[in-house]
């Protein structure tokens, strides 16, 4: 039984690639956060103010439904939580994931992928979705070409 989990949401596959490498580097279990209704290319068009992602991100109370909620997070002490940066925060489905599980007393280390922005307000925004006894730490924003060796070095630093 692993005491570490890598959970991630990936819209285009970039975060999935980093999460897979991180799970290998950390010898951790891997869990994909999947929406009940998958995102289409049109849903992800951030330039369209009527796209699904734009509408969700403009509503801080938006909580897209998850395809699966039966993950046993009680098995884990540390959770690496990954996502793409959308509008300088995590996609609201990440809040859905956090609010669907009890992370009391757990350590959550965030990692993200982005074409150029940092974490923005992601940490503070996600803290509202967990219990006060949960520690959320800003980790690092990675490019898709990060290596497992680089991730092992990062893990040792945190």
Spans of all domains in the chain: 4-156
pLDDT, average across residues 31-50: 93
On the question of pLDDT at 1 being above 70, the answer is: no
pTM of the predicted structure, to 2 decimals: 0.93
Q: How many CB atoms lie within 10 A of CB 1?
A: 5
Query: What are 61-93's pLDDT values in tens digits?
Result: 999 999 998 999 999 999 999 999 998 899 999
On the question of pLDDT at 105 being above 70, the answer is: yes
pLDDT at 87: 85
CA 11 from centroid of its chain's CA atoms:
11
Strands 29-32 and 107-113: unpaired
Among the CATH numbers 3.90.850.10, 3.40.50.360, 2.60.40.420, 3.40.50.12780, which is that of 4-156?
A: 3.40.50.360
Residues 6+ apart with CB under 8 A from 82: 6, 7, 8, 9, 10, 15, 18, 19, 22, 110, 111, 112, 113
Q: Report the distance separating Cα 128 and Cα 99, nearest Å.
A: 9
Residue 62 or 1, more confident: 62
């Amino acid at each position: 039984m692993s005491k570490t989990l890598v959970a991630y949401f990936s819209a285009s596959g970039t975060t999935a690639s980093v999460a897979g490498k991180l799970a290998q580097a950390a010898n951790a279990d891997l869990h994909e956060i999947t929406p009940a209704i998958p995102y289409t290319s049109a849903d992800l068009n951030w330039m369209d103010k009527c796209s699904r992602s734009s509408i969700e991100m403009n509503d801080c109370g938006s909580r897209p439904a998850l395809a699966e909620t039966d993950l046993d997070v009680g098995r884990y002490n540390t959770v690496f939580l990954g996502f793409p940066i959308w509008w300088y925060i995590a996609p609201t489905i990440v809040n859905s994931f956090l609010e669907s599980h009890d992370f009391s007393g757990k350590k959550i280390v965030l990692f993200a992928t982005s074409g150029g922005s940092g974490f923005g307000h992601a940490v503070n925004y996600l803290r509202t979705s967990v219990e006060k006894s949960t520690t959320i730490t800003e980790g690092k924003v990675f490019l898709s070409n990060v290596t497992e060796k680089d991730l092992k070095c990062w893990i040792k630093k945190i």
